[in-house]
Amino acid sequence: MVRLEDMDWQTYEKKVSDGSAVIMLPIGAIEQHGPHMSMNPDVLIPQAISEGVAKAFDNVLVAHPISYGYKSQVKSGGGNFFPGTTCISGKTLIDTIKDVVVAYARHGNRKFVLVNGHYENSMFVVEGIELALEKLRIDDIHAEVILLSYWDFVTDDTIKTVFPDGFTGWDVEHGGVLETSLMLYLHPELVDMEKVIDHQPATFPPYDVFPADQSWVPESGTLSSAKKATVEYGELLFQVCIEGIATGIKERFK
């Protein structure tokens, strides 16, 4: 059992009260990912990866995810105007991260790994962590937090395997081969490969516009096509992320 929410409090207390446990906190978004996939990959993938990592350790627990994320941007998530893309504002995300990290630290935890699954969240999570650490200092609590986005652990070798015809870049991977392969492996019931749209990767000018220019985004909502996604790629990506993150945890938290 790695999900801490599934434990009773006394079991949980035994594991965390001495500060040696590592709490993994998945952070995602509810956001469209094309006509072929559900709207929760940014939650489900970091949650599954967190659980995969936790299983490799004795004292790593997975917290309930923070599921609603920052506003989808055109060039990374298709934009905040798609039906189903359901986002919270920057200050709300900052405060949520702050409050949740503080709460887990007050149980005795001192080691955290925040596992981000939605690009747009990153800087607000950074600020939430900063505010949490500052607030904890009032009570003389000093915690250490690792922040990561799971895709940063995909190695160059894996990229070459998954994109044999050349990698079109992380920036257009929204709803593409990477996320779709992972979902095929983790939650095949939430993917319908027959609905994948085949289209060229999106290209964008070197700036953003507000309000969003909806014509910049492929009608599918995906920024590159998931046509070549496979369950095997998904497994490969999953394993490489888990290994990389586990190594990072060992480096920092011994």
| 196 class by beta-carbon count within 10 Å (0-12 exposed, 13-18 middle, 19+ buried) | buried
Question: Which of 73, 56, 160, 169 lies closest to 113 in space, CA to CA?
Answer: 56
Based on the residue annotation, tell me whether 42 is a catalytic residue of this protein.
yes
- 211 preceded by a cis bond (ω within 30 of 0): yes
What is the smallest separation between the CB atom of 92 and a copy of itself, expressed in angstroms? 4
Q: Does 229 bind a copy of itself (CB under 8 A)?
A: no
Are the C-beta atoms of 77 and 120 separated by less than 8 Å? yes
Give the x/- contact pattern for a copy of itself in 175-214, rule: CB under 8 A. Answer: ---------------x-x--x---------xxxxxxx---
8 near a copy of itself, judged by CB under 8 A: yes
**Binding to a copy of itself by residue 153, rule CB under 8 A?**
yes
The one catalytic residue in 58, 118, 127, 152 is 118
Residues between 121 and 150 that touch a copy of itself (CB under 8 A)? 122-124, 126-127, 129-131, 133-135, 137-139, 144-148
- Name the residue type at position 59: N
Can 13 be counted among the known catalytic residues? no
For the bound state, the minimum distance from the C-beta of residue 120 to a copy of itself, rounded and expressed in Å, comes to 7
By beta-carbon proximity to a copy of itself, the closer residue of 87 and 237 is 87
Contacts (CB under 8 A) with a copy of itself, residues 64-123: 64-68, 70-71, 73, 82-92, 94-96, 98-100, 103-104, 107-108, 120, 122-123
Euclidean distance between CA atoms 224 and 221, whole angstroms: 9
Question: For residue 78, what are the contacts with CB-CB under 8 A and spacing of at least 6?
Answer: 31, 32, 72, 85, 174, 175, 217, 221, 222, 223
Is there a catalytic annotation at residue 142?
no
Site for a copy of itself contains 243 (CB under 8 A): no
31 belongs to the catalytic site? yes
Only one residue has tokens 């999953």, namely 238
Compare residues 55 and 250 and give the one whose CB is closer to a copy of itself: 250
Nearest approach, Cβ of 20 to a copy of itself (angstroms)? 14
Residues 6+ apart with CB under 8 A from 251: none
Q: Is 36 among the residues known to form the active site?
A: no
**Alpha-carbon gap, residue 172 to 92, rounded angstroms:** 27
- In sequence order, which residues have a C-beta less than 8 Å from that of residue 93 and are 6 or more positions away? 66, 68, 69, 70, 121, 124, 125, 128
Residues 11-70 that bind a copy of itself (CB under 8 A): 12-13, 16-17, 30, 32-40, 43, 63-68, 70
Count of residues interacting with a copy of itself (CB under 8 A): 89
Rounded CA-CA distance 74/210 in Å is 10
Q: Which of 6, 36, 42, 107 is catalytic?
A: 42
